[in-house]
Amino acid sequence: MNELKPAFRTTFFSKGSLWGAAVLGLWIVCLPGCLSQAIYHPTPELQGSPASIGLAFEKVSFETSDGIPLSAWWIPAQSPRGVLLFCHGNAGNISHRLDSIGIFNRLGMSLFIFDYRGFGESGGTPTEEGLYRDAEAAWRYLIEAKRADPEKMIVFGRSLGGAVAAWLGRTHKPRALILESAFISLPEAARDRIPGFLVKIFVPDQYPTLRNLRAAPCPVLIIHSRDDEIVPFRHAAALYAAAPDSKEFLEIRGSHNRGFLDSLPIYEAALNSFLSKHLDQSKGE
């Protein structure tokens, strides 16, 4: 299931033609809805659960500040070294992240993964502000219901979820932040597919991952593949350059959606090292 689908397409028409003017006018009128359909690709039906990979879990329902009901899973580790808040990508739902759930469970992390509004069994319709509210509600749930200590919380975001995680890392102070296959911003992601002048006209300044990351007061791990066919490697390089001084970079191989699996040995080893540095060593602080 794609984390970020290459949904931006260019419509070509002859200069000055009536057809071109009609297409352009229709594009402007329909822009908000078209952008929403281009960005978000939710799937309502769950296709499994942590029980499918032998893990005990709790199905959780909670509510955002604007009254949207969200669905999530709490997967506790046996001897947890910390808590990981998982912000997934723009497609599917939480049931499509079982591979990642298994990885973080093996690494000793209790994990909370939630579906944004409009995804899976969550209510509402996805928007940028809405996804930020959803992440805020998930953070609040962990603090209030699970008594999680922010000093033991890692925020993880993949693809579009990287933008959500960076926002959460700026507005709160988790122990650390992990961004995988993330983009600089929505306009920069669009710039890889359509001409720059069209980006300036039609693509709003949304999901400013780099801007939020620059202001995130916590250690950061950036993970990206040079083979990523959806979010080019330049995005990762820019994010790493903008991150605070306490930062690390892991280069993996493979596609946007399978890179972490194609690079599993080095991926898990690097995650374990990062978690050890920022969680295990903090026990003596």
How many domains is the chain built from? Answer: 1
Other beta carbons within 10 Å of 211: 15
Domain that holds residue 149: 18-284
pLDDT score recorded for residue 145: 97
Would you state the pLDDT for residue 19? Answer: 52
b/e sequence 29-55, b meaning 16+ C-beta within 10 Å: eeeeebbeebbbbbeeebeebbeeeeb
Mode of pairing for the β-strands spanning 41-42 and 91-92: parallel
Flag whether 10 is in a domain.
Answer: no
**Is residue 58 over pLDDT 50?**
yes
Q: What is the pLDDT of residue 1?
A: 43
Q: Which amino acid is at 33?
A: G
Q: Tell me if 8 is assigned to some domain.
A: no
| Residue 70 within a domain | yes
Q: Which of 3-12, 55-64, 155-164, 264-273 has the lowest mean pLDDT?
A: 3-12
| C-alpha–C-alpha distance, residues 76 and 82, integer Å | 10
pLDDT at res. 245: 85
Distance CA 237, CA 232 (A): 10
Assign residue 145 the CATH number of its domain: 3.40.50.1820
Q: Cα–Cα–Cα angle for 278, 281, 285, nearest 5°?
A: 105
Encode pLDDT of 222-253 as tens digits: 999 999 999 999 999 999 999 988 999 999 99
Domain assignment present for residue 5? The answer is no
- Distance from C-alpha of 158 to C-alpha of 197, rounded to nearest angstrom: 28
268 phi-psi bin (left φ>0, alpha ψ -120 to 50, beta other): alpha
CB 88 within 8 A of CB 158: yes
Average pLDDT, the chain: 89
